[in-house]
């Protein structure tokens, strides 16, 4: 171990930054965030340092560095592009046994500035001993995805209850078990969801209970898995998928997304296809209730977004009636994914000033929609689950005033390596679907924005089977 990881208390302490450029500004900002009194020694200050000076966040010493500048400082940072000055700063600091960091010169450092994940009061720091700052930043970026931004609030909340927990549990082992339950259970999830008052109430109720370690009801996470590309998952979705005890998933969740869930979690398939439901919706609702009442953390993983033709509202309605804790994590809906990965913007000021999402398959099996509203000019219409009814969709739009040559696109398995795009117009698309071997899941986009596809398509077409046009 080349450097001992140490967190230093700098609140109200004098610290020196030598240099007036942007690198010096960034180092000064970190010291300011740590509560230090920052002195900057430089002939000229960058614009950002001038702003900090105007806001009284730093003190400026003009002119060139002098060895006496180090006197009384808790630590020193040299951030100039002059090797002679940097060496002089190092010599002066070490002579007074003051910790010194010379940016981009590990040999002149007695301490290293790590890459920081700041969830104050929770702080994670990553260092490569100065050998590869870029690698340290990459590792920090990975940690950023794993550590929710609300961990700081959670830490402050637990600090407020520390003495009460000590008074409640005599044994350190009991205190440890209590905090493990709190920090890995529904209380933590409430804080992450911004429900701090409820979380505090549950902690207090748990402490007041005759048996504070009794089994609690589990929780359901209604998670949007996005359109297929696992890189499109949100940080929260990934975190909940990796901590759930059970994954209840649909047919539209891609294998790549499902593979990111916790390896040892139980997986229950409840997929639906047209005219065939592996598990009826009411049974799915009751399954979620049963699993949660068994104390399990349940991830209800849906393709796209749970609240856009995902029947998520029906499921959480049942959970609310049964008093089951739940949270909803939005996902990128299929329309947004298909639009982005085909270079077809859903809105554009020259072509479309509004966008409408519609389902091509109603509960009663019909597609009896508000066709006059859907056939409006300067509007993009997106149909979910419309492959089987494509003939009716095109005919009805034409019947209600939409020109027969209006562009239409059909996107199969959007955002995945199997993505395929078919373009045409309202008059020709039914024949294209009949001729080609097109399979669900598919999305239908109608509107003049499709004209922008060839110009705006950025997705590497070699990553999928091909683009076909009618």
Instruction: Confirm whether 81 is a catalytic residue.
Output: no
Supply 239's token pair.
Answer: 């975190």
Supply 332's token pair.
Answer: 């990128």
Alpha carbon 329 to its chain's center: 10
What is the 3 state secondary structure string of 248-315? EECCCCCHHHHCCCCCCCEEEECCEECCEECCCHHHHHHHHHHHHHCCCEEEEEECECCCCCCCHHHH
Supply 70's token pair.
Answer: 């180090």
| Per-position DSSP letters for 98-137, written without gaps between them | --EEETT-GGG-SS---EEEEETTEEEEE--TTS-HHHHH
Supply 387's token pair.
Answer: 């492959």
Q: Confirm if 108 and 102 have CB atoms less than 8 A apart.
A: yes
Q: Which of 14, 105, 196, 272 is catalytic?
A: 272
Instruction: Confirm whether 272 is a catalytic residue.
Output: yes
Length of the chain: 470
Beta bridge partners of 219: 297
Helix ranges (H only) for 343-444 are 371-374, 390-399, 429-435
The Cα–Cα gap between 107 and 3 comes to 12
The Cα–Cα gap between 246 and 248 comes to 6
The Cα–Cα gap between 136 and 126 comes to 6
Q: Which of 250, 296, 413, 425 is catalytic?
A: 250
Type and span of the H or E element at 392: helix 390-399
Task: Give, in order, the Cα–Cα distances in Å from 294 to each of 184, 185, 215, 287.
Answer: 16, 14, 9, 11
Which residues fall within 8 angstroms of residue 128, CB to CB, at 6 or more apart?
135, 136
Supply 276's token pair.
Answer: 């065939």
Q: Confirm if 246 and 266 have CB atoms less than 8 A apart.
A: yes
Q: Of 216, 297, 293, 227, which Cα lies nearest the Cα of 261?
A: 297
Q: Which residues are catalytic?
A: 250, 272
């Amino acid at each position: 171990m080349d450097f001992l990881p140490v967190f230093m208390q700098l609140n109200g302490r004098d610290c020196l930054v030598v240099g007036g450029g942007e690198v010096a500004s960034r180092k000064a900002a970190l010291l300011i965030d740590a509560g230090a009194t920052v002195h900057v020694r430089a002939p000229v200050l960058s614009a950002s340092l001038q702003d900090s000076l105007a806001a009284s966040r730093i003190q400026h010493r003009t002119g060139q560095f002098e060895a006496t500048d180090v006197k009384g400082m808790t630590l020193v940072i040299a951030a100039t592009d002059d090797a002679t000055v940097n060496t002089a700063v190092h010599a002066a600091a070490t002579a007074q046994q003051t910790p010194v960091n010379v940016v981009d010169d590990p040999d002149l450092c007695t301490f290293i500035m790590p890459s920081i994940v700041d969830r104050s009061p929770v702080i994670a720091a990553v260092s490569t001993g100065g050998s590869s700052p870029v690698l340290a930043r990459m590792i920090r970026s990975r940690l950023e995805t794993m550590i929710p931004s609300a961990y700081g609030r959670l830490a402050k909340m637990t600090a407020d209850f520390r003495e009460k927990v000590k008074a409640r549990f005599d044994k350190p082992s009991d205190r440890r078990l209590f905090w493990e339950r709190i920090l890995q259970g529904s209380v933590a999830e409430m804080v992450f969801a911004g429900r701090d008052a409820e979380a505090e109430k549950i902690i207090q109720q748990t402490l007041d209970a005759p048996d504070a370690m009794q089994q609690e009801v589990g929780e359901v996470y209604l998670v949007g898995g996005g359109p297929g590309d696992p890189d499109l998952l949100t940080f929260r979705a990934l975190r909940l998928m990796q901590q759930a005890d059970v994954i209840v998933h649909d047919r539209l969740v891609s294998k790549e997304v499902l593979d990111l869930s916790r390896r040892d979690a139980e997986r229950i398939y409840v997929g639906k296809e047209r005219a065939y439901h592996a598990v009826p919706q009411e049974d799915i609702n009751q399954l979620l209730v049963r699993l949660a009442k068994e104390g399990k953390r349940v991830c209800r993983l849906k393709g796209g977004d749970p609240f856009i033709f995902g029947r998520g509202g029906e499921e959480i309605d049942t959970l609310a009636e049964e008093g089951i804790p739940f949270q909803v994590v939005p996902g990128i809906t299929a329309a947004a994914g298909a639009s982005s990965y085909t270079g077809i913007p859903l809105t554009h000021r020259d072509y479309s000033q509004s966008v409408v999402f519609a389902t091509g398959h109603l509960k009663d099996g019909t597609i009896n929609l508000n066709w006059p509203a859907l056939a409006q000019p300067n509007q993009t219409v997106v149909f979910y689950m419309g492959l089987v009814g494509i003939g009716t969709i095109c005919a009805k739009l034409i019947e209600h005033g939409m020109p027969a040559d209006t562009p239409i696109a059909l996107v199969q398995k959007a955002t995945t390596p199997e993505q395929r795009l078919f373009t045409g117009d309202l008059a020709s698309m039914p024949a294209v679907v009949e001729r080609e071997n097109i399979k669900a899941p598919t999305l239908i986009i109608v509107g003049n924005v499709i004209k922008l596809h060839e110009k705006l398509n950025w997705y590497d077409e070699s990553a999928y089977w091909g683009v076909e046009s009618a």
